[in-house]
Structure 1
Amino acid sequence: MKKSNILIVDDNKSVLSALDLLLSPYCKNLKCLSSPKTLLSELQSEHYDVVLLDMNFKAGINNGNEGIFWLNEILSQNPGISVIMITAYGDVELAVKAVRSGATDFVLKPWENEKMIATVDTACKLSQSKKEVRNLQLKEKQLIEEINGHNKDLIGSSPAWERVLNLVEKVAKTNANVLITGENGTGKELVAKEIHRLSIRSKRVMVSVDMGSIAESLFESELFGHKKGAFTDAHSDRMGKIEAANRGTLFLDEIGNLTMPMQAKLLSVLQNRILTRVGDNSIQEVDLRLVCATNSNLQQMVNEGRFREDLLYRINTIQIELPPLRERVEDIEELANFFILKYADKYNKNQLKISANGISKLKGYHWPGNVRELQHAIEKAVILSENHVLNGSDFIFKTDEISGVNRFDGTLEEMERKLIGAAIEKQAGNLSAVSNQLGISRQTLYNKIKKYDL
């Protein structure tokens, strides 16, 4: 209340004086009007949190119609403001009519001072809450608009990439579950965002979950949420990722990394579209669009007993296979120029271009890390460039680095990074083959790829 502005409208000057004396010490600003004629212009010129409004202004008329009229005018202009109606007539029906019309509360003359202060204080808090909600809604709207803006990173015009974009456009308009497959770095998350942007759910959020980074012990808490006290570190209620995606899109990246028990729990929610937070007995219905992504061969995993067949059927109503960069060589020059502009602006190296020799070297490399590797190669070249033109010699690929492993004298971590990079290149991005070659689990390999940004 101390930070609030209050406007009092009453034709009785004694009432105005009494309320002024009573409320002024508790609020930031207070103004009195003896007539509602200037009420709307006053609300336009100044911000008010609460209006105390008399219900009758003409002598001999006590039906409250004037008050209801000005109440509607106030709320049509300022829907977030709290209005307290004041009347000397204790008509219950009139009070109900005012509240139904949008009034926050109703006070009878003569009032009790403590009750009046408490009523105005509550109205001030309500106005502040409405303001905070409006600000949050505005921020959410702006965030969603920013996230769902035109996806400028979907670069390419090759036949292989055009087929992907055409399929995305068709699928996006439906509510069908989509499975996006392809090697690491092919742009699976970008395609998922484009599906959401073009969908009927684009006004809502897309919640992304990296399934490869969630420990099995935290799986239920992360996806389904938990109640306070459900386990040792559950200090407060928490909404899970699935519930957060309600009425929007849920993107599950690297779904092939789920263990069989985790798959069973996820399948139950996807089939029934209801969930229960950990430690809670009540159920929560969810309405969402499911998009999943993986670089694994899920059908092979099904055959090997490592992935549930019923879950596979549930998530891949439509499958979109993203081509590796080596199968869309025609797009390399366009992608390279896009990333050069992006990083030249970021690192203040304007007018930076790439030579024909540079493009030739980029097209001659087979890109086991796909578009992500190309992006990193461009960024590194832009940072280290000393000229206005990037040439072939400005690009150093993993094959160039690995040739010096035998005389390597760096740290163990640096050696590990190079060995993993070499294995990924040798196995053309097949992570199952890479993990077998290195003798480590897929989860360990995935964590190291994340660690070293490979």
Structure 2
Amino acid sequence: MQKGKVLIVDDNKSVLSALEILLQFEYEKVDTLGNPNLLSSFENLSDYDIVLLDMNFSAGVNTGNEGLYWNREIKKRAPHISVIMMTAYGAIDLAVQALKEGATDFILKPWNNDKLLATLKSAYQLRKSQKEVSKLKEKESSLKQVINQNKNYIIGNSKALTSVLNLVQKVAKTDVNVLVTGENGTGKELIARELHNLSNRKNEVFIGVDMGSISETLFESELFGHTKGAFTDAKEDRAGKFEAANGGTLFLDEIGNLSLQTQAKLLSAIQNRVVVRVGSNKPILVDIRLVCATNCNLEKMVADGLFREDLLYRINTIHVQVPALRERDGDVLILAEFYLNKFMTKYGKLGLRINNQAQEKLLAYSWPGNIRELQHTMERAVILCDGNVLKPTDFILNEKGTPTLDTTNVTLSEMELLLINDALKKHDGNYSAAANQLGISRQTLYNKIKKTGNGE
């Protein structure tokens, strides 16, 4: 017995009885309806897998228009249901019209039982396949939502950042190629994700690729895919990043790290929106929004013969320059508070605050590592602090070109603090290593920092 549910709609009671008897041992549930007008108020119509629908209900009428009408009504309420039309007046043009309007098949009365059962079986298999496809699409949609969930945020209200975000908002709705440049740690990927989230492709996938981490030998396989047996480790067919991003956004980070040879291969794929898997000759069309990023000066690389000029023009329809943190007046403290709240929650250290002297220290620092450095600095400060107030000594910064130890006109306690800070800088904030260098215990180091640290 099939698990399917069948609904029979016919005004002939003899037909209803005959079909019900025939199908009751074939399907899990078989229901009958003698008046098609009842379909309008029929509950749970979409629960049925198959509807056997007569085409003529009024006496003396055999045009089939009634059946076509009710087929349309059924499809409005249950688009994926399999509808099989039945009539005693067969005509090829009527069958074609029924199929055009979404009917699954067409049978004549009187029917052959074996043929009718075979027709219903095919219709049921089709319905099962449609259900599976529907579930897969729902699953795919859910996966895309999970993949696209962006737990990072663009924080700040400086003029420099606002200007960039205004440009992003203007460009996002288009499909033009965008080049995002900026120093390491400025948040180039966040800008790329913002372009995706504001675009018409926001419900599709965002695929990011670190071009600097892909070896030249695997470049084509990673980006364009490969077929089974294309090379030693190719044990199955695999789609590349271009195919995976089809319909969505492809983000190529660190594009300045590519060799000239791989640049040529990439240019062809970007220009034609066609890829060919390694080991195959079949071209695959891809529909992507391309966003690239780099911290390199691509114009200088072009002048030095290290980057293809035609590739630069292709990826650089719109150029977005992400400002360094030192150029974002006021955003340092906003970001510091954001990360403070984040890490207080993460490490269960609620109620922390940054005192005025520490805020001044954060503002005075040049942040060569940009937002990424600030994030790590805040996380380290939260982990290592002992009290409820973060003081200047809780923030270990690495100013380049600044003397690590200045002994001019300092008191003994100030000298001790300088030695401690110098040791912590040398060991990148590792308290155990710093204490070992100073010849004291880790707890003693903590106590001395608390004793010599600035007040609130």
Q: CA deviation at 1:329?
A: 4.8
Gaps of 5+ in 2: 400-420, 434-456
Indicate the residue corresponding to 1:279 in structure 2: 279
Counterpart Cα distance in 2 of 1:123 and 1:320: 54
Which structure has the larger Rg over C-alpha atoms?
A: 2
**Matched residues in 2 for 1:48 and 1:102: separation?**
16
Counterpart Cα distance in 2 of 1:232 and 1:380: 45
Indicate if the aligned counterparts of 1:9 and 1:53 stay in contact, CA closer than 8 A. yes
1:76, distance to aligned residue in structure 2 (A)? 1.0
Tell me how far 1:189 sits from its aligned partner. Answer: 0.5
| Map 1:26-425 → 2, pairs under 5 A | 26-44=26-44, 47-138=47-138, 153-347=153-347, 350-383=350-383, 388-397=388-397, 401-404=424-427
Q: Find the aligned partners of 2:425 and 2:221 in 1 and give their Cα distance.
A: 42
Correspondence for 2:417: none
1:218, 1:26 → 2: CA distance?
A: 54
One-letter amino acid of the structure 2 residue matched with residue 230 of structure 1: A
In 2 relative to 1, CA 111–255 (structure 1 residues): closer, same or farther, beyond 3 Å? Answer: same
When structure 1 is superposed on structure 2, of 292-301 and 74-83 the one drifting more is 292-301
Deviates more, 1:330-339 or 1:161-170: 161-170
**For residues 252 and 35 of structure 2, what CA distance do their matches in structure 1 show?**
60
Aligned-partner Cα distance in 1 for 2:295–2:354: 31
Q: Secondary structure of 1:4's partner?
A: strand
- Report the Cα distance in structure 2 between the residues aligned to 1:45 and 1:234, rounded to whole angstroms: 48
Q: CA deviation at 1:14?
A: 3.7
Cα distance 1:239–1:149, how it changes in 2: closer, same or farther (>3 A)?
Answer: closer
- Structure 1, residues 298-320: CA drift from partner, whole Å, max 9, x if none? 23333443322222222223322
Output the amino acid matched with 1:318.
I
Partner of 1:447: none
Contact 2:148 2:206 in 1 (8 A): no
Which digits, 9 at most, give the CA deviation of each residue in 1:87-127, with x for residues without a partner? 23332222111111110111223434443333323323333
Counterpart Cα distance in 2 of 1:104 and 1:50:
9
**Cα shift readout 1:131-172 (whole Å, capped 9, x = no counterpart):** 344444455556667777899711112232223223323333
Q: Which amino acid aligns with 2:125?
A: K
Is the counterpart of residue 9 in structure 1 residue 9 in structure 2? yes
1:347 offset after TM fit, Å? Answer: 4.8
Deviations 1:188-215 (A, max 9, x none): 0011112233344445433322212222
**C-alpha contact (below 8 Å) 2:46/2:77 kept by paired residues:** no
Letter in 2 for 1:377: T
Q: How many residues end up aligned between the 2 structures?
A: 409
Instruction: Report if aligned partners of 1:149, 1:197 keep a CA contact under 8 Å in 2.
Output: no
Query: Does the CA-based 8 Å contact 1:188-1:293 persist in structure 2?
Result: yes
SS in 2 for 1:31: strand
Instruction: Give the CA deviation at 1:19.
Output: 3.2
List per-residue Cα deviations over 1:164-192 (Å, max 9, x = no partner): 22332333344432211122211000111
Contact 1:151–1:194 (8 Å) recurs in 2: no
- Asked whether the equivalents of residues 274 and 284 of structure 1 are also in contact (C-alpha less than 8 Å), the reply is yes
> In the superposition, relative to structure 1, how do residues 394 and 113 fare at CA in structure 2: closer, same or farther (>3 Å)?
farther
Per-residue CA deviation, residues 191-243 of structure 1 (Å, 9 max, x unaligned), is 11122333444454333222122222222122222344434444544332223
**Alignment check: 8 A CA contact 2:152 2:190 kept:** no
What is the CA distance between 1:257 and its match in structure 2?
1.8
Per mean C-alpha deviation after superposition, the further-off stretch among 189-198 and 358-367 is 358-367
Partners of 1:16 and 1:388 in 2: how far apart? 80
**Maintained 8 Å contact 2:178/2:290:** yes
Deviation, 1:291, is 1.3
* Secondary structure, counterpart of 1:131 in structure 2: helix
What one-letter code is carried by the residue in structure 2 that aligns with 1:181?
T
Summarize the Cα distance change of 1:136–1:381 in structure 2 as closer, same or farther, 3 Å threshold.
Answer: farther
| Partner SS for 2:107 | strand
Residues 46 and 78 of structure 2 are in contact (CA less than 8 Å); yes or no, is this contact kept in structure 1?
Answer: no
In structure 2, distance between residues paired with 1:73 and 1:280: 47
Matched residues in 2 for 1:381 and 1:126: separation?
61
Unaligned runs of 5+ in 1: 411-454
**Does the CA contact (< 8 Å) of 1:56 and 1:65 recur in 2?**
yes
Which letter does structure 1 place at the counterpart of 2:426? S
Give per-residue Cα distances to partners, 1:391-419, cap 9 Å, x unaligned: 444444467644248x9998xxxxxxxxx
After superposition, the C-alpha distances for 1:3-51 in whole angstroms (9 at most, x for unaligned) are 4332222233343344334434444433222222322332447622222
Letter in 1 for 2:47: H
Give the TM-score taking structure 1 as reference length: 0.78
SS at match of 2:42: helix
**What is the Cα-based RMSD across aligned positions, in Å?**
3.3
How many percent identity over aligned positions?
Answer: 56
* Cα gap change, 1:235 to 1:78, in 2 (>3 Å): farther
Amino acid at match of 1:322: V
Q: Distance in 2 between matches of 1:98 and 1:139?
A: 32
Contact 1:6 1:50 in 2 (8 A): yes
